[in-house]
Structure 1
């Protein structure tokens, strides 16, 4: 029974991390540049609309669920240290929780909040900073989500 639960968590986390890596990759490679091409006011307005909508979408269950399952898997890996896949599971869980969730909460969300509070006179300066800094931290989320997905897949293969 325990092995079935671990297997389900590994598959859920591998798929969830992969899906979120793809979303973050899209923002890093073309969405943010496309928003910038529309101008500061339009880009900021579109990003603010995205930030409101994403909280009401199916993104949130995957975002939170994958974070919780990754944290649980990291703990399980510590408790089952030495078993096949435990190292990959531990690193995948820690990398995802710190590199995706932690970065989101410490960097991306505060930047989103600052953008949403920007007045019409501030938008251009806030947008320029937002675009550069938010995208840089989004690259971190992209890489850590993809790496965590690969590590969970390695743990599945090892099991």
Structure 2
């Protein structure tokens, strides 16, 4: 494939690796830290995080990497006989899967949490249910991003 495919593979590997790092941080310590404080503070902190994360830089990282991943899926299909095509396809598909998990599970959970009033009766139960579901899906999308990054690196190695 062309040199620009190598460059896109590199950008995709870095992008998916960065997203994996952000998501890993949440799985490894951010959510654990929030679970150690009272539910009111955990909900409040998560509500604030979910507002702050909606910014152009995060959008560029998440969705720009998604656009590059989709482009590489198409390139893989067009050049299926090339050595790196399977890696490009798998890397792109894995990242698109991570975005789909985000949209289907994590974002709706975040939106539901956004409507929770801090003086809600039973806020501890609300927080516990949110945490249990959200963290599982975060683990899934983190793993998908790591897998994606590995496949893009393998595609680059095939292009050298």
**Aligned match for 2:115, one of 114, 117, 135:** 117
Q: 2:2 is paired with a residue of what secondary structure? A: helix
**Equivalent in the alignment of 2:151:** 151
Partners of 2:115 and 2:8 lie apart in 1 by 38
- Unaligned stretches of 5+ in structure 1? none
**Equivalent in the alignment of 2:22:** 23
The number of aligned residues is: 157
| Cα drift, residue 126 of structure 1 | 1.8
More divergent stretch after superposition (105-114 vs 58-67)? 58-67
| 1:60-99 correspondence runs (5 A) | 60-98=59-97
TM-score, reference length from structure 2: 0.94
Partners of 2:81 and 2:145 lie apart in 1 by 24
| 1:130-149 correspondence runs (5 A) | 130-149=130-149
Partners of 2:45 and 2:123 lie apart in 1 by 12
TM-score, reference length from structure 1: 0.95
Partners of 2:56 and 2:37 lie apart in 1 by 24
1:3 matches 2:7: no
| Cα drift, residue 67 of structure 1 | 0.7
Partners of 1:57 and 1:40 lie apart in 2 by 30
| Cα drift, residue 72 of structure 1 | 1.0
More divergent stretch after superposition (53-62 vs 30-39)? 53-62
Deviations 1:41-84 (A, max 9, x none): 10111011111001125222100100111111011100100102
Partners of 1:149 and 1:80 lie apart in 2 by 20
**Equivalent in the alignment of 2:39:** 40
